[in-house]
Amino acid sequence: MAAIREIIKLGDPLLRQRAAQVRRFGFRLEKLLDDMACTMYASNGCGLAAPQIGISKCIVVIDDGQGLIELINPTIRRAEGEISDVEYCLSVPELGGEVKRAESIRVEAQDRKGKICVYEAEGFLARIFQHEIDHLQGRLFVDIMTREVRDEKPEKLQNEAQEQVQDEAQNNE
């Protein structure tokens, strides 16, 4: 059975290490991939790299809503165009950032059995590939963002709470 692993957060030195290539394929890798997918889905993420659960290996899972993609030892073989958009990361809570990425890419990786697969991606999916592959180099979106985007949710909740306090104060008058 797959398990939900703990996601480490910005500030943890494990996120900054360069991940090692996977050389052994087998049961342990498959269990790890299952746990990573489980952890990603439980966190409503669209991608997760092994360093984010404290394992410094070149392993990534992605699901942009069109199905699970597992990448072992991925490399970007081609990158074209440039597009800027807001990104979030499960290891960087409540903060987003605008990041310039290649618009379309070709990625070569191995699957869970070690077979070489080639992926062509563009737009949002290409962005996820690049974000996750960055994790394997110890790079986070906060290092390369051009603008910080604060999550507006906590502020909104705070305003609502404040309004409630004001309402109660008025009721007491």
The catalytic residue positions are 132
Interaction pattern, residues 44-83, with Co ion; x per rule: CB under 5 A:
----------------------------------------
Backbone angles phi, psi at 136, to 5 degrees: -70, -20
Q: Which stretch binds Co ion (CB under 5 A): 31-39, 65-73, 89-97, 165-173?
A: 89-97
- Of 32, 89, 99, 107, which lies in the binding site for Co ion, with binding defined by CB under 5 A? 89
Check if the beta carbon of residue 57 is closer than 8 Å to that of residue 22: yes
d(CA 134, CA 131): 5
Which DSSP string corresponds to 3-23? -PPPPP-TT-GGGGSPPBPP-
19 binds Co ion (CB under 5 A): no
Q: Which stretch binds Co ion (CB under 5 A): 6-14, 68-76, 88-96, 107-115?
A: 88-96
Residue closer to Co ion, measured from CB, 87 or 109: 87
d(CA 140, CA 136): 10
Site for Co ion, rule CB under 5 A:
89
